[in-house]
A and B are shown apart, each in its own frame.
Chain A
Amino acid sequence: DHHERKRKKESREVHERSHKARKMIGLKAKLYHKQRHAEKIQMKKTIKMHEQRKSKQKDDDKTPEGAVPAYLLDREGQSRAKVLSNMIKQKRKEKAGKWEVPLPKVRAQGETEVLKVIRTGKRQKKAWKRMVTKVCFVGDGFTRKPPKYERFIRPMGLRFKKAHVTHPELKATFCLPILGVKKNPSSSLYTTLGVITKGTVIEVNVSELGLVTQGGKVIWGKYAQVTNNPENDGCINAVLLV
């Protein structure tokens, strides 16, 4: 009687599901409802798709390009002055656009945020040492200054060597080693220290990708801009600047 049982169980499932959906409370209910909402959207889409076959739709191909309704028809053509001012604006943008980056504006990080004061001395009164609280990059041949004299402490736990870089056109992400920090938008001090925050431009080793210049030379370093807060996520996500 397996088939009979199965049939009955399936028909009972509908009632049980509705009962559950009504009675659930708390976090479980939130998760369940979210899931169910997604399911319902999918169901509605498929139903709509099936119905599209039956209903008539407007055919977009029939309207020719550039066709404009009557009330939008121009009274006169563009004047020369307008053309000139447009040209100047374009040129200005191009000059400024040497550094067209995905994140043009970024929140500036203050010193108190990035550097934490470390007290030293017999009576813990001296406060000239600073510890970096954000993720940073130190080069390969990095050796610390003698601990007594180092002013900026970059803890080992916060040193990262690799970044997850996304190619914007290919939409693929690669884990590439960092070559160095090019510029940190908040301050030049951070750049020299190698602090990586959101919006920092870093240089990554792209030899993995196998890019080649027109002259036939292999490209092995490219710039990328960091798009997340690495100290909150534990990893550096960046977008390649092509």
Chain B
Amino acid sequence: MALYNFKKIMVVPTAKDFIDITLSKTQRKTPTVIHKHYQIHRIRHFYMRKVKFTQQNYHDRLSQILTDFPKLDDVHPFYADLMNVLYDKDHFKLALGQINIAKNLIDNVAKDYVRLMKYGDSLYRCKQLKRAALGRMCTILKRQKQSLEYLEQVRQHLSRLPTIDPNTRTLLLCGYPNVGKSSFINKVTRADVEVQPYAFTTKSLFVGHMDYKYLRWQVVDTPGILDHPLEERNTIEMQAITALAHLRAAVLYVMDVSEQCGHALSQQLELFNNIRPLFANKPLIVMANKCDVRKISELSEENQKIFVDLIAEGITVIETSSLTDEGVMQVKAEACDRLLAHRVDTKMKTKKVHDVLNRLHLAVPTKRDQKERPPFIPEGALLRRKAMEMDAPKRKLERDLEVELGDDYTLDLQKYWDLMNPEEKQDKIPEVWEGHNIADYIDPEIMTDLEQEEELREKAGEYVSEEESEDEEMQEIRQLASQIREKRKLKILTSKEKDTQGPRMPRTAKKVERATLEKEMADLGLDMTDKDDSHYALRSRSLVRKRKREVSAPPTSRTRSQSASRPPRDQSGVRDAKVVPSDTKIAPKRCVHWTLSYFSQMLKKVKTMMKSSQKEMNRQGKKGESDRHVFDVKPKHLHAGKRKSGSTSRR
């Protein structure tokens, strides 16, 4: 069934795009290299292949279009009629016919030229023939521009049509514009149809789904119908008529009792009588809508007579209001029941029923005595069933209570408890009663376990409390312990405050100021005075050497008190600032400044040189100077595919 395939129709390209796609495909997917000196059969085959490839592509694509689009004769008459109304059957068929003709023409062209190419004796001749063939095929397609455009538009519209299954249970709403059909469908289903005060708000068919008696029902909303003869109807009204004519559904004719739609009741009755023939064989209900504005009893005599007449004819008239929900459920139930009965009736009349009926058999147990044994239905179930049918108001929810009381509301779950004595519901639960701990009695077994454990503990002497005399040592220890606890808490707090996102430097890589180090150690109790000679107090070589300028020893062999006094590696190569040429006659004081700045400049330069030499290696992800590993020896994009334009390093 072509029902859901409307969404799966392939996109119909425009003529220009179609040609471009196919030609570029031919150029990419067939071999492109050919030379004059090849053997003639090879040349012929090469060009014949191109012609046939193009023909094949066109043929496939056009056939797909032809099969994708629904054939108006094959789909359900409802869809056939709907498409006729929307897209004009003749135009549609013509367009598809043109495509078919184009397909055949292209096939013929290819056949002719392939036949001719067998007599091609030179590369030039075969090439010209191929060019002529492809050109002809593309011209044929260029002529189909209009048909392709039309089909694309049809396809887009088709995919947006609502999926109405013509065979399942359906309720159909019809009537004048603005009587309240869309509001009804919004109420009953989850559909969200636009409701506006102007007429013809609904311009096409809409579908909503609802459940009743565990079955799925479709509710179809139609655009309003005005009262004129069939020939004068426009596209929008025709859609409604089509739906009425072809769908086997229960019809809900909606009338506006308050005449807010702008048409008098007599006009509505006229329309009703005009489209009466369409209601044949369909369960019909008349909905007197907008009864919250005006009831039937408030109407004038003649209008009331209309309804009386309708009822006399045997048509159910139900007063409804979409605003106040009055009668909506009643209409729904009535319509669904009648439709179901109607469908069962129709099925019974067909021959297929007998197959099913023959297999059904209701087995009744044989009576063994005269005692009456009716089926037992508990009262609660009966009440509930009644409630479901009546749609009785639900019990008051906590939410409603909350809304009512506003600020005074407290959640009191104790009132739902099921106690023997209902007055005790609000009593507070004691913790101890008659010397027993109530919590122990939650689990009846627990008492014995606890008693056992307690006996054991008493034997072990846990409950004997000693008088502890704390001597100084203990007091000190206690103090220290409290200090440690405090410090620990502080550390935890600081670490929590720290921003730990991102990579963290290890503690040893961070530079610690001398002052902080000494302070911390002093806090902990170490003696940190007079620590100038310690290892951490040593500064860089030159600055220290500043104080000991008199001692001029060679750079490399330096005798120091501490072994770790060598200059760091990043400065070891820098030319010694101290080495001043002996014949310079610069004042010593100025000399110091000159060498110091010169040294720092040199140091900076050295550092930049180091970094720039490493930049290239780092960019390529090399481990060092000697790393020669190549990650991708044969990149696929340079070694695969045709050699199109581009250089060797980029294709």
Least CB separation from B27: chain A residue: A27
Asked if residues A234 and B118 are in contact (CB atoms below 8 Å), the reply is no
| B133 cross-chain contacts in A, Cβ below 8 A | 234
Shortest distance in angstroms between B271's beta carbon and chain A's nearest beta carbon?
37
A234 and B644 contact, Cβ closer than 8 Å, known pairs A133-B121, A157-B116: no
Is A168 part of the binding interface, using a Cβ–Cβ cutoff of 8 Å? no
Is A172 part of the binding interface, using a Cβ–Cβ cutoff of 8 Å? no
Shortest distance in angstroms between B10's beta carbon and chain A's nearest beta carbon?
24
| B5 cross-chain contacts in A, Cβ below 8 A | none
Asked if residues B644 and A232 are in contact (CB atoms below 8 Å), the reply is no
Asked if residues B129 and A232 are in contact (CB atoms below 8 Å), the reply is yes
- Chain A residues 151-199 with CB under 8 Å of chain B are 155, 157-158
Is B113 part of the binding interface, using a Cβ–Cβ cutoff of 8 Å? yes
Asked if residues A116 and B121 are in contact (CB atoms below 8 Å), the reply is yes
Asked if residues A233 and B128 are in contact (CB atoms below 8 Å), the reply is yes
Asked if residues B645 and A234 are in contact (CB atoms below 8 Å), the reply is no
| A232 cross-chain contacts in B, Cβ below 8 A | 124-125, 128-129, 132
Asked if residues A158 and B116 are in contact (CB atoms below 8 Å), the reply is yes
| A28 cross-chain contacts in B, Cβ below 8 A | 24
Q: For the complex, what is the distance from the CA of A116 to the CA of B122, rounded to whole Å?
A: 13
Is B427 part of the binding interface, using a Cβ–Cβ cutoff of 8 Å? no
Asked if residues B125 and A231 are in contact (CB atoms below 8 Å), the reply is yes
Pick the residue among A25, A116, A234 that contacts B129 (CB under 8 A): A234
Least CB separation from A155: chain B residue: B119
| A231 cross-chain contacts in B, Cβ below 8 A | 119, 125
Q: For the complex, what is the distance from the CA of A232 to the CA of B47, rounded to whole Å?
A: 13
Least CB separation from B116: chain A residue: A234
Contact with A along B3-42 (1 / 0, CB 8 A): 0000000000000000000001001000000000000000
Shortest distance in angstroms between A137's beta carbon and chain B's nearest beta carbon?
15
Shortest distance in angstroms between B83's beta carbon and chain A's nearest beta carbon?
27
Is B115 part of the binding interface, using a Cβ–Cβ cutoff of 8 Å? yes
Contact with B along A218-237 (1 / 0, CB 8 A): 00000000000101111100
Q: For the complex, what is the distance from the CA of A28 to the CA of B24, rounded to whole Å?
A: 9
Is B112 part of the binding interface, using a Cβ–Cβ cutoff of 8 Å? yes
Contact with A along B108-141 (1 / 0, CB 8 A): 0000110110110100110011001100000000
- Chain B residues 331-387 with CB under 8 Å of chain A are none
Least CB separation from A232: chain B residue: B128
Asked if residues B132 and A235 are in contact (CB atoms below 8 Å), the reply is yes
Asked if residues A26 and B645 are in contact (CB atoms below 8 Å), the reply is yes
- Chain A residues 81-101 with CB under 8 Å of chain B are none
| B645 cross-chain contacts in A, Cβ below 8 A | 25-26
| Interface residue range, chain A | 10 to 19
Is B646 part of the binding interface, using a Cβ–Cβ cutoff of 8 Å? yes
| Interface residue range, chain B | 10 to 19
Q: For the complex, what is the distance from the CA of A116 to the CA of B121, rounded to whole Å?
A: 10
Least CB separation from B16: chain A residue: A35
- Chain B residues 78-121 with CB under 8 Å of chain A are 112-113, 115-116, 118-119, 121
A26 and B644 contact, Cβ closer than 8 Å, known pairs A116-B121, A232-B125, A234-B133: yes
Asked if residues A233 and B121 are in contact (CB atoms below 8 Å), the reply is no
Shortest distance in angstroms between B119's beta carbon and chain A's nearest beta carbon?
6
Asked if residues A133 and B132 are in contact (CB atoms below 8 Å), the reply is no
| B646 cross-chain contacts in A, Cβ below 8 A | 25
Q: For the complex, what is the distance from the CA of A157 to the CA of B129, rounded to whole Å?
A: 14
Q: For the complex, what is the distance from the CA of A229 to the CA of B131, rounded to whole Å?
A: 14
Asked if residues B118 and A157 are in contact (CB atoms below 8 Å), the reply is yes
| B115 cross-chain contacts in A, Cβ below 8 A | 157
Asked if residues B27 and A133 are in contact (CB atoms below 8 Å), the reply is no
Pick the residue among B24, B119, B121 that contacts A157 (CB under 8 A): B119
| B112 cross-chain contacts in A, Cβ below 8 A | 234
| A155 cross-chain contacts in B, Cβ below 8 A | 119
Q: For the complex, what is the distance from the CA of A96 to the CA of B645, rounded to whole Å?
A: 56
| A27 cross-chain contacts in B, Cβ below 8 A | 27
Q: For the complex, what is the distance from the CA of A26 to the CA of B642, rounded to whole Å?
A: 13
Q: For the complex, what is the distance from the CA of A28 to the CA of B645, rounded to whole Å?
A: 11
| A116 cross-chain contacts in B, Cβ below 8 A | 121
Least CB separation from B127: chain A residue: A232
Asked if residues B113 and A234 are in contact (CB atoms below 8 Å), the reply is yes
Least CB separation from B646: chain A residue: A25
A233 and B132 contact, Cβ closer than 8 Å, known pairs A116-B121, A157-B115, A157-B118: yes
Shortest distance in angstroms between A235's beta carbon and chain B's nearest beta carbon?
7
Q: For the complex, what is the distance from the CA of A133 to the CA of B128, rounded to whole Å?
A: 15
Q: For the complex, what is the distance from the CA of A158 to the CA of B113, rounded to whole Å?
A: 11
Shortest distance in angstroms between B134's beta carbon and chain A's nearest beta carbon?
12
- Chain A residues 31-78 with CB under 8 Å of chain B are none
Shortest distance in angstroms between B644's beta carbon and chain A's nearest beta carbon?
6
Q: For the complex, what is the distance from the CA of A47 to the CA of B129, rounded to whole Å?
A: 41
Q: For the complex, what is the distance from the CA of A157 to the CA of B114, rounded to whole Å?
A: 10
Shortest distance in angstroms between A154's beta carbon and chain B's nearest beta carbon?
11
Q: For the complex, what is the distance from the CA of A234 to the CA of B117, rounded to whole Å?
A: 9
Shortest distance in angstroms between A110's beta carbon and chain B's nearest beta carbon?
14
Q: For the complex, what is the distance from the CA of A235 to the CA of B139, rounded to whole Å?
A: 15
| B116 cross-chain contacts in A, Cβ below 8 A | 157-158, 234
With contacts A157-B118, A232-B132 known, what are 17 further pairs, Cβ within 8 A?
Answer: A25-B645, A25-B646, A27-B27, A28-B24, A133-B119, A157-B115, A157-B119, A158-B119, A231-B119, A231-B125, A232-B129, A233-B128, A234-B112, A234-B113, A234-B132, A234-B133, A235-B132
Interface on B for A, CB 8 Å cutoff? 24, 27, 112-113, 115-116, 118-119, 121, 124-125, 128-129, 132-133, 644-646
- Please name 18 pairs of A and B residues whose Cβ atoms are closer than 8 Å in the assembled complex, sorted by A: A25-B645, A25-B646, A26-B645, A27-B27, A28-B24, A133-B119, A133-B121, A157-B115, A157-B116, A157-B118, A157-B119, A158-B116, A158-B119, A231-B125, A232-B124, A233-B132, A234-B129, A234-B132
**5 closest A-B pairs by CB:** A232-B128, A233-B132, A26-B645, A157-B115, A234-B116
